[in-house]
Amino acid sequence: MARKLPRKDVVIVGLGWTGSIMAYELADAGLDLIAIERGPWRNTATDYPPGYAADELRYRIRHELFLSPSQTTFTFRHKMSEAALPIRSWGAFMPPNGVGGGGVHWNAETWRFLPSDFVLKTHLTERYGVNFLPEDMTIQDWGVTYDELEPHYDKFEYLCGTSGQAGNIKGTIMDGGNPFEGPRARAYPNPPQDQPFGHALFGKAARDLGYKPFPQPSGNMSRPYQNPLGVRLGPCTYCGFCEWFGCGNYSKASPQTTVLPALVRKPNFTARDNSEVTRINVDSSGKRATGVTFVDAAGDEWEQPADLVVLSAYTIFNVQLLLLSGIGKAYDPAANTGVIGRNFTHQTTSDVVSFFDPAKFVFNPFIASGAIGMCIDEFNGDNFDHGPHGFVGGGYMGHVQTNGRPIETTPVPPGTPLWGAAWKKAVKENYQSAIKPGTGVHGSMYSYRDVYVDLDPAYKDRFNRPLVRITMDFHDNEIKQNKFLTDKFAEIFQAMGAKQVHKEYRKAPYDITKYQTTHLCGGAIMGSDPTTSALNRFLQSWDVPNLFVLGASAFPQNAGYNPTGTVAALAYWTADAIRSKYLKNPGQLINA
Amino acid sequence: MQRRTFLTLAAWLVGTTSLTRATVIHNRVPWAPHPNSAPEMVRPGPWQFFTLDEARAMEAIVDRIIPPDPETPGGKIAGCAVFIDRQLKGPYGSNQGHYTLGPHTKGTQEQGPQSALTHAELYRNALAALDKHCKSTQAGKSFAELEAAAQDDVLRKLESGEVKFETVDAKGFFSALLKDVPEGFFADPIHGGNIDMVGWKMIGFPGIRYDYRDWVNRHNERYPHPPVSIAGRADWTPAKS
């Protein structure tokens, strides 16, 4: 029997980016709140000091900062007819763990989605006609527009001290920025980071080909910065240990370096770490959440009552908690009914590995940051006419080389033996003169009727709860998109003077062992129709109005960008709705 | 939830996390250093996982995967076998943190490895099978006793699947070698391989130098400084008298 804790105004499940942002905003509004986090508390100073944070084996290869599959994992299959098997060690994606969540070990690539991304179904149907879309594609409009989110994107960028070059300020196209981005109210708070040799070369080649390259918006500081909460960040040193690592230099935006120092000073905020929420409790009507149940590290079970529940775990764990708590109708792809688990998506990334003459090119690939790079956006979203190509979607592409760490980044030309003297010689010859971008083609993956998550009938986690089962494969649309984008990307490296360009297309079937990104999306999506979405446009559950579900689980489909900027903007958008609307009149904000 | 589940859980947590207590954070940041946060240094010394025979075979194998050449030592001198020895003795060897519950069913390649064997068991079984295979086909000689060309030939047959072992997946063992040996060559020397940073020197990786602000804008110029490990550099550390 769970012991009951004193009631709180709000309980927040998961203290990553969205949980921290929401906690700060609601604490600022005077609410008494508690955040419950499955993993440990993490400090910049004590957990990843620069003296040993740069350990490729420990963090990149052995995944120390991540959730371990022994805690919980997922099962995977391509099709409903296949048997799903557990992911025993991480491959295609890696769920975060601990205070700060993925915000600790992300690259800090900080994008806004395109205005058309938020009205995708409407936009594509109007431009190409409804018959242009594949029959089983289930894309939807978000229910929120770019213009509505703009102030919230801005707020996140200024929280983080994002380094970048604006491309569109209030409708005026700015030289050197991304001309395709939606209008922004003001410039980024910091100028772009300096560009190493390879990135500068990519920018020149792209310009020569007629594109408009721009530096990637980055949460790595180009100069010292103090954010609006009074928290200070230091300048990035280009050490090349961002992605998968914690930044010990206080120069990568994370919850620890931007919001938590201000949040922990709020007397009405409490956090519990090493405690896993196992379900959301609802009253007998099923229409009202009464709090959550969690298990602490000693194995003791507790009930935390609260008036408002904010679910802000990683994408797929949000969906799992909804399914295990019986909130919302589970999606059934055969009948095409239900909402929890539908429109699950990942990503369609690919790369181009390029080999240059070692006598003429020295790239020093270890001089890097998580989000350093030159990008083009000509082939993202609907920035180009898809009519002749027979697919929809796209992605940004760029030379975003985040590291030269030698276990991961020792490319050799195709055809080289995998071991022995020839391999060793090729590694030595090419290390300084090869380019293997960390982000190459960062493509969208749209939603389909047969790509979804539900509860696995066979495999259980350590609490004896069913694992989440992923049913996912790439469809022809995504394969065509990736082929087109990868070919365009390769042309730029040819123009840079590469002697050999190797295209690594993303191919079907979907491979759970090959890392792409941790950008899983969907499963508890937002929308304007309760029969096809779990949440309304304020990320409020249609079924349980005192439950809000943050994160990329709300994306109806994935766009061709990294999600964190949009995830955070939505968190601010929801916080604003709670503060300005819900608290005055607690209940369903939208009457469907 | 049943009490038995809780007991299992508690045991699991004690075994796998450095912080076994859940803490309540209120009005303060818990500044106490993470107790297990500093890295553990691998110390030289006797084999911890491999038997002497296994170690001999492994030293021969790592020297064929990464052979010595006039400029750079091979896998053996670089400490790749020591690296793997310490890894197999540690959490990697016991598949700590992996999902290990059954049933263990072989699926498609894209569904990922499903073997019930730990990495330690894979090496133990495969090295025994390799020994048996070499002795029966190479006039009683073990792998380590073969000429380099014959060793390469055996390894190539493991790679191609031409040689199969009865007790364990030979090709899977070779895949593990292709992952683990280069890790030993390029990981920070604190893990027992990459001795004297030979792997980093070979390619020009400066290790964990941390601050390149003075070099980011010097395009197409080779970074000039030698590598630094988490343990520093020998020439920076005064010898004890």
Radius of gyration of chain A, Cα coordinates, nearest whole angstrom: 23
d(CA B41, CA B53): 25
Tens of pLDDT, residue by residue over A189-199, are 999 999 999 99
Predicted TM-score (pTM) of the model is 0.95
Contacts of B35 in chain A (CB under 8 A): none
CB contact under 8 A, A273 and B25: yes
d(CA A425, CA A406): 14
Mean pLDDT on B20-31: 78
CA dihedral B187, B190, B195, B198 (to 10 degrees): 40
Nearest CA in chain B to A42: B34
Tens of pLDDT, residue by residue over A266-289, are 999 999 999 999 999 999 999 999
A65 touches chain B (CB under 8 A): no
CB contact under 8 A, A41 and B23: yes
CA dihedral A269, A273, A276, A281 (to 10 degrees): -20
Q: Are A169 and A184 in contact (CB under 8 A)?
A: yes
Mean pLDDT on A318-337: 97
Question: Quick one: which of A78, A103, A147 has its CA closest to A512?
Answer: A78
pLDDT at B19 over 50: no
Contacts of B97 in chain A (CB under 8 A): 63, 68-70, 89
CB contact under 8 A, B9 and A462: yes
Tens of pLDDT, residue by residue over B106-137, are 999 999 999 999 999 999 999 999 999 999 99
* A519 tagged catalytic: yes
Exposed/middle/buried for residue A147 (C-beta within 10 Å: 0-12, 13-18, 19+): exposed
Tens of pLDDT, residue by residue over B169-204, are 999 999 999 999 999 999 999 999 999 999 999 999
pLDDT at B30 over 80: no
Residue A3: its H or E element: strand A3-4
CB contact under 8 A, A58 and B9: no
Contacts of B64 in chain A (CB under 8 A): 419-420
**Chain centroid offset of residue B35 CA:** 24
d(CA B227, CA B215): 15
Catalytic residue (choose from A105, A152, A399, A519): A519
Determine the pLDDT at residue A439: 84
Strand stretches in A27-89, DSSP E: 33-36, 74-77, 85-86
Q: Is the ipTM of this complex over 0.90?
A: yes
Q: Which amino acid, residue B118?
A: T
pLDDT-derived band at B233, boundaries 50, 70, 90 = confident
Nearest CA in chain B to A270: B26
Determine the pLDDT at residue A592: 72
pLDDT-derived band at B40, boundaries 50, 70, 90 = confident
Q: Identify the three-state secondary structure at position A334.
A: coil
pLDDT-derived band at B14, boundaries 50, 70, 90 = very low
Mean pLDDT on B41-47: 92
pLDDT-derived band at B159, boundaries 50, 70, 90 = very high
Q: Are strands A500-504 and A348-355 parallel, antiparallel or unpaired?
A: antiparallel
Structure letter (DSSP) for residue A390? T
